[in-house]
Structure 1
Amino acid sequence: MSHVNIGKTYSGPYKAMLDFNDQAVAAGKDAGLSPLLVELVKVRASQLNGCAFCLRMHCADAIAAGETADRLAVVAGWWESQYFSPEEQAAMQIAERVTMIGDHGRLVDRGVDVDGILSEKQIAAVTWLAVVINSWNRIAISSHYLVHP
C-alpha cells in the first residue's frame, strides 16, 4: 500500500472528521464523562488497532489530564486490575465492543454490566467516542503517520 496522507490529499473529509471529533467530545462532556475516562477509551481502542500515533497522543493527553503511569501500564489488561472505576471499566468494554465489532471470535465479555453502570447518554457518548477514535486510527495507520521518539 502506498504512503498517501489522505487528509492532505483530500482536506474536506479530514475537516469533517475534526468536526465529528468535536461533536463526540461535546457529547462526552454533556453526558458527564471525565476527561480521563475519555482518554482511556481512546487509548484502549488505539491499542487494539495498533495505532502508534494515536497511542502516543492520547497517552500524553491522559497524563496531562492527571493519569498515572501505573494505570496506563495496565490499560491493555484493565479487567485484571483493580485500578479502574466501574465507569471506566464499562467505557473500556464499550471501546472493545466497538473496535472489534466484526471480530466476534475475539470479542470477550469482560463481565461488566455496562447498562447497570452507565446512563443511556453515557453509553451513547462513549460509543461515539469509540467510533471517532477508530476512524482516527484508520486515518493515521493508512496514511502512515510518523511516530518518532
Structure 2
Amino acid sequence: MKLRLNYRKVNPSAYKAMMALEQYVSGQIEDKVLYELLKIRVSQLNGCSFCLDMHAKDLLKLGDYADHILLLSVWREVPLFTEKERVMLELAETVTEISHQGVPTELINKVREHFSEAELVDLIMAINTINSWNRIAITTGMYPGCFN
C-alpha cells in the first residue's frame, strides 16, 4: 500500500486546524471509554482502517475492552453496552448517516435522558470531528502504520 498524499506535510495548517478541533472535543468528553467507542463506531461505518486501528488500540489502553471492540458493530444485539452507550451509539450512527433520515426528535429526546444539552453539543462535535478525520484518512489513502 502507498499513501496517496501526506496532508500533514503538504498542508500543516490544515492538520493544525483539525488537531485544534480534536483537542477541544477530547477535553470536553470526560468518559474516555464512551469517546473511543464513538470514534470506533463512526470509523466502522465510514470504513476507515487507519482510525479503526488507532481508536481500537486507544480503547484497549483504557482497560479490557476487547469484547466491546469485537461486538461494537452489533451493539443492538448484545447486552454488553450500557443504556448511555447505546444512546450515544445510536446518535453517532444517525448523525454519520444523516442523509438517510435526518435526526429524529425522538432520538434527541432519548439522548437528553442521559446527557445534558451541553454534552449533546459535545457529542455532535465529536461525531463531526471523527467523520472529518475519517474522510481525510480515506481520501488521502491512510492505512494502519502508514506513518511508521
TM bucket by the smaller chain? 0.7 to 0.9
Higher helix proportion (structure 1 or 2):
2
State the SS of the aligned residue for 1:147: coil
Count the aligned residue pairs. 140
* Counterparts of 2:77 and 2:91, CA distance in 1: 17
Question: 1:1-149, aligned counterparts within 5 Å?
Answer: 3-29=4-30, 34-104=31-101, 113-148=110-145
Percent of residue pairs bearing the same amino acid type: 34
The amino acid of 2:7's aligned partner reads: I
Q: Which runs of 5+ in 1 are unaligned?
A: none
Q: List, as ranges, runs of 4+ consecutive aligned residues in structure 1 with deviation greater than 3 Å.
A: none
Q: Which runs of 5+ in 2 are unaligned?
A: none
State the SS of the aligned residue for 1:70: helix
* Counterparts of 2:7 and 2:61, CA distance in 1: 29
**Contact map agreement 2:39 2:55 (CA 8 A) in 1:** yes
**Contact map agreement 2:54 2:144 (CA 8 A) in 1:** no
**Contact map agreement 1:46 1:133 (CA 8 A) in 2:** yes
* Counterparts of 1:146 and 1:131, CA distance in 2: 20
Seen in structure 2, the aligned counterparts of structure 1 residues 67 and 137 have a Cα distance that, compared at 3 Å, is farther
What TM-score, normalized by structure 2, do the two folds share?
0.85
1:44-63 residue CA offsets vs partner (Å, 9 max, x unmatched): 00000000000000000001
The amino acid of 2:115's aligned partner reads: L
* Counterparts of 1:128 and 1:53, CA distance in 2: 20
Q: CA deviation at 1:67?
A: 4.1
Seen in structure 2, the aligned counterparts of structure 1 residues 3 and 127 have a Cα distance that, compared at 3 Å, is same
State the SS of the aligned residue for 2:120: helix
What TM-score, normalized by structure 1, do the two folds share?
0.85
